[in-house]
Amino acid sequence: MQISNSNALLLAVAVLDAVNAHTTFTNFYVDQAPMGDGTCVRMSRDIPKATWPIRPINSQDMACGVNGDKGVARICPAKSGSELTFNFRDWPDGSQPGSLDKSHMGPCAVYMKKVENAAADNNAAGAGWFKIFEEDYDNSTAQWCTSKIMANDGKLSVKLPTDLAGGYYLVRSELLALHDADKTPADPQFYAGCAQVFLQSSGSSVPKDTVSIPGHVNMQHPAMTFHVWNKPKQFSFPQFGPPTYQGSSSKRGIDTRANQLEQTLGLKPANCIMENDNWCGLTLPGYSDEKGCWASSQKCWDQSKTCYDSAGPVGSKNCKNWESYCESIKNACASGNFNGPPSATSFMPAPPSRLSTSGYSPQSAPKTESEQASATQPKAETVPVTNSANSDNSVKGGSVNTCGSNGGSKCASGYCCSSHGYCGKNDDYCGAGCQSAFGKCSGSSKHKRAHIIGRPHAHILAGKA
């Protein structure tokens, strides 16, 4: 059955104002080589809510995010010592720039868990997680880890340990936004997702110092109510979770297990000619008569439907390329050209680009003074808003007090309500996505965004805001 923008049967259509959106881990790179949007990544399949934080913190979703208990088809290879670069987006399909609202300050960490099959279901939540990276507030640069990620286009780079046993792993990224942690009730906002990786390694270490997720933190821990708006900002953040794994030279115990050197699961099919998320468009059977032509055309459309049906928050843009390929076969059959199938080369999407530089990592080159100044949180100023006029929790050009979709109140006169529901005066608050019903707006791109579920995956403008 033909599928197109004009006649696609939508599985569900729900228009949701996404100004509450925050961030999600959408794709990653191995030694700066792109794995593809959504490929080998466990993430929420609920498109309108894909960027929402995980609640509550004792939920099974804390392991690999919403739907993180479901494995995806592909497992990406990486070598011991490889650099993994996680990419975080505010718009999961990358149709708009941005990774995280500047108010969402807090620590970040990366965990790993060895599993029998990284593509299997129900192996994320529970014991076995160990930490390979963490960073919180850097007093030397006056930046939180999340602020450094924002300054690096949403990217965080981490080196894999060199001594781990080879085999299948889940690699979990964790961001914690603490902008509302001091409120009553406290609202620490976790964002977690997992990459499915096969580690090519001659090592034999499996850390014993592991934790269960959920369970590595609870609301009684002081980190969950930490006040990021305190002044002056010179403090020590109360870390949580296990100590960071330091390798086999560490005093912590390790297990030694048989090493798995060859990946056999989650491989890219040999006849895969086009990809979208974890879907593969497979080579069509050859034909030389009318019956074979239409049979191959039908197989093409069947694959197109599967592509659209499986497309998640990162979008279905490559499904459209495959659909165009199917259309060309259908037209050839209709015109009497029964020799094929034709080459898909002219329909192939542009390959994703390699990273020219890594994302933020502790080993990154030091920033210049001007770069530090532009990325550092500036001195605070008090900004009154109607829902909390006496609050002093603020940042330059804006206030941590909420408005619009993030609280329902209006900002004080002269202040804008940002797309994320915070009051302020600069372009981050008054530009794209500004909510004019709750404050002043400026610029020509005042709109709310909305997601459409199903085919075609797209963003639309939901009227003036």
Measured CA to CA, the distance from residue 65 to residue 382 in angstroms comes to: 35
- In the chain, the amino acid numbered 306 is T
pLDDT by residue, tens only, the chain of 465 residues: 444 443 333 333 333 333 444 899 999 999 999 999 999 999 999 999 999 999 999 999 999 999 999 999 999 999 999 999 999 999 999 999 999 999 999 999 999 999 999 999 999 999 999 999 999 999 889 899 999 999 999 999 999 999 999 999 999 999 999 999 989 999 999 999 999 999 999 999 989 889 999 999 999 999 999 999 887 666 789 989 899 998 864 434 445 455 667 999 999 999 999 999 999 999 999 999 999 999 999 999 999 999 999 999 999 999 999 999 999 999 999 999 999 999 999 999 999 999 987 666 664 433 333 333 333 333 333 333 333 333 333 344 444 466 777 666 788 888 888 776 777 787 767 887 788 888 888 853 333 333 333 333 333 233 333
Q: Could you give the C-alpha distances from 86 to 47, 178, 449, in angstroms and in order? A: 20, 20, 25
What pTM was computed for the model?
Answer: 0.76
207 and 130 Cβ atoms separated by less than 8 Å: yes
| Nearest CA-CA partner of 413 in 443, 381, 385 | 385
Q: Tokens 């259509």 correspond to what residue?
A: 13
